[in-house]
Chains A and B, each alone.
Chain A
């Protein structure tokens, strides 16, 4: 059974069909790229997959369980985490707290236990603190733990957002244009981070990206979207040579 199974997904805004009959399956540990020109409906697909928008038609299943109609936070619990095109961090909080908030579900003490500082509070907080620090270390960001997120350099902010998404322990990670606004060096670092995720975490990744170099370099499979419709699917090699894709990207 596929990890993510999207069937006949469509959404309509007013009279406009922003996404039309979108189908996609992603298996465990797979890295799939979703590309297409501006306004093709890529982010709209993401927003449906993560519960921000309710699709007009179609079904989305994670591990066989339909997530259509669920709230974004419920979908996170089903195992899908995401990042945003325009980075959305908890800017005034420390890097560590950003991770801790995503780690919320691993802490079990009740409000009452928290307020009156009962033993379970101390135990849970201690493990959370250690685990989140260790988690930051994986991404080589341990040194930044106590810095306010807004004071990180741009590339690190992206990295933190990805790390935060991973802290929710997802089965599938969805990255919305992670290389947007990055210089070549930062993009390179991002590729390393994605490689790191593939090595250390046993999860699938769905990637929206403009940067062809990045997509062609790391994705196993690519789906090309234009005007809300899938126009091509296949390996990087196949898509690169697909005449429809060339037409969309280079014009006739």
Chain B
């Protein structure tokens, strides 16, 4: 464990605490009102969804168009678990109910992910994308038509137990896990599959295992994101989790940069705020949004950050490099 790594871990941890404290402060003095707080929570949930999809699509290289399906599975499992716990063990504190529900949602979503992944991951590229699209739609139709989920009328009476605090820290934890996972031996194996599956196999990477693992983890976190969503708005409409939702998440991932978690975070912030900020344009809001999306893709086809991560060090290095080159030029 070298000193620089410890230092960068500490800096990042400190930054997270400062952001959290700042947000809390702004909420307490009323600058961030309930409306803004809602947007922030949606940003955090989108970060979870995008970061988890990035694992499957950006790091593992498997284009997925059914992420909303996993989100839906998690949302409904978590919601009904919480309803059940609330009815039978009402004395439990909210945070315990939330954690239990989310863990169960995460596990079930992972199982769904494995069940879909084992057959689907044999396909490559666009075919995988299409088959996941199919699965996502099937999940939506199932939810729409069974009684347990409240069907097309939606599911009501979900305990409203997601708060800014717990969503924030769960997001931090998930992003941390995804970061450390992708920067470990398992993560290297996952990335090697994206780079060249045949070569990965030829150097001893158990490709099937790591593909299913990456897919399952992505599905599991999407499920947790869905759970947090369910417990925040306390109502679930199956059509929230349609194909367009999957596409929105994918847009965040691609715009941020495939294989860049910090890119996903930045893009989630931008793309969640953008439609809200364009509200004053009323009817032209989504027109403008889609226009900006096209423009951004044309000018930054590899996304905002490409595959690299945002770091203070790289900014510092660039600054230093520029300064040095200026000095060099002046000397010459």
Residues of A in contact with B (beta carbons under 8 Å apart): 50, 52, 71-73, 76-77, 81-82, 84, 88-93, 97, 100-102, 104-105, 107, 109, 111, 114-117, 121-122, 124-126, 128, 164-165, 167-168
The CB with the most chain B CB atoms within 10 A, among A90, A111, A125, A167, is that of A90
Smallest CB–CB gap between A59 and chain B, Å? Answer: 21
For the complex, would chain B's binding face be called helix, strand, loop or mixed by DSSP majority? helix
CB pair A92–B195 under 8 Å, yes or no, is: yes
| B204 at the A interface (CB under 8 A) | yes
| B295 at the A interface (CB under 8 A) | no
Report the Cα distance A100→B187, complex, angstroms: 11
Instruction: Give residues 162-184 of B contacting A (CB, 8 Å).
Output: 177, 180-181, 184
Report the Cα distance A121→B198, complex, angstroms: 27
CB pair A84–B199 under 8 Å, yes or no, is: yes
CB pair A76–B203 under 8 Å, yes or no, is: yes
CB pair B188–A114 under 8 Å, yes or no, is: no
User: Which residues of B have CB within 8 Å of A111?
Assistant: 181, 184, 186, 213
CB pair A90–B202 under 8 Å, yes or no, is: no
User: Which residues of B have CB within 8 Å of A167?
Assistant: 203
17 CB contacts below 8 A, A to B, read A73-B205, A77-B204, A81-B203, A89-B196, A93-B192, A93-B195, A97-B188, A101-B205, A104-B185, A105-B204, A114-B187, A115-B180, A115-B181, A115-B184, A121-B184, A164-B203, A168-B203
CB pair B198–A109 under 8 Å, yes or no, is: no
CB pair A101–B180 under 8 Å, yes or no, is: no
How many residues of chain B are within 8 Å of chain A by beta carbon?
A: 26
CB pair B202–A72 under 8 Å, yes or no, is: yes
User: Which residues of B have CB within 8 Å of A100?
Assistant: 185, 188
The residue that B185 contacts in the complex, of A50, A109, A164, A165, with Cβ under 8 A, is: A109
Excluding A100-B188, A114-B180, A116-B180, 8 further A-B contacts by CB distance (< 8 Å) are A91-B196, A93-B191, A93-B195, A102-B203, A104-B205, A109-B185, A114-B185, A125-B185
Q: Which residue of B lies closest to A88 (CB)?
A: B199
Decide: A76 near B202, CB < 8 A? Known: A107-B185, A122-B1: yes
The residue that B184 contacts in the complex, of A72, A105, A114, A168, with Cβ under 8 A, is: A114
Q: Which residue of A lies closest to B9 (CB)?
A: A117
Decide: A101 near B184, CB < 8 A? Known: A77-B204, A93-B195, A115-B177: no
CB pair B200–A101 under 8 Å, yes or no, is: yes
Report the Cα distance A121→B196, complex, angstroms: 25
Smallest CB–CB gap between B205 and chain A, Å? Answer: 6
Report the Cα distance A92→B181, complex, angstroms: 19
Smallest CB–CB gap between A167 and chain B, Å? Answer: 7
Query: What 4 pairs across the A-B complex have the smallest Cβ distances?
Result: A114-B184, A76-B204, A90-B195, A88-B199
CB pair A101–B188 under 8 Å, yes or no, is: yes
Report the Cα distance A111→B185, complex, angstroms: 8
Q: Which residue of B lies closest to A119 (CB)?
A: B1
| B206 at the A interface (CB under 8 A) | yes
Report the Cα distance A64→B192, complex, angstroms: 31
User: Which residues of B have CB within 8 Å of A114?
Assistant: 180-181, 184-187
Instruction: Give residues 134-155 of B contacting A (CB, 8 Å).
Output: none
Q: Which residue of A lies closest to B306 (CB)?
A: A92
Smallest CB–CB gap between B198 and chain A, Å? Answer: 6
Report the Cα distance A102→B191, complex, angstroms: 13
The CB with the most chain A CB atoms within 10 A, among B186, B198, B204, is that of B204
CB pair B189–A104 under 8 Å, yes or no, is: yes
| B201 at the A interface (CB under 8 A) | yes
User: Which residues of A have CB within 8 Å of B307?
Assistant: 92
CB pair A73–B195 under 8 Å, yes or no, is: no
User: Which residues of A have CB within 8 Å of B37?
Assistant: none
| B94 at the A interface (CB under 8 A) | no
CB pair A89–B199 under 8 Å, yes or no, is: yes
Report the Cα distance A43→B191, complex, angstroms: 27
| B156 at the A interface (CB under 8 A) | no
User: Which residues of A have CB within 8 Å of B199?
Assistant: 84, 88-90
Report the Cα distance A167→B307, complex, angstroms: 26
CB pair A88–B188 under 8 Å, yes or no, is: no
CB pair A72–B196 under 8 Å, yes or no, is: no
Decide: A73 near B204, CB < 8 A? Known: A52-B198, A88-B198, A109-B185: yes
| B272 at the A interface (CB under 8 A) | no
Q: Which residue of A lies closest to B195 (CB)?
A: A90
User: Which residues of B have CB within 8 Å of A88?
Assistant: 196, 198-199, 202
| B239 at the A interface (CB under 8 A) | no
Report the Cα distance A104→B203, complex, angstroms: 9
User: Which residues of A have CB within 8 Å of B192?
Assistant: 90, 93, 101
Report the Cα distance A210→B58, complex, angstroms: 39
Instruction: Give residues 48-105 of B contacting A (CB, 8 Å).
Output: none
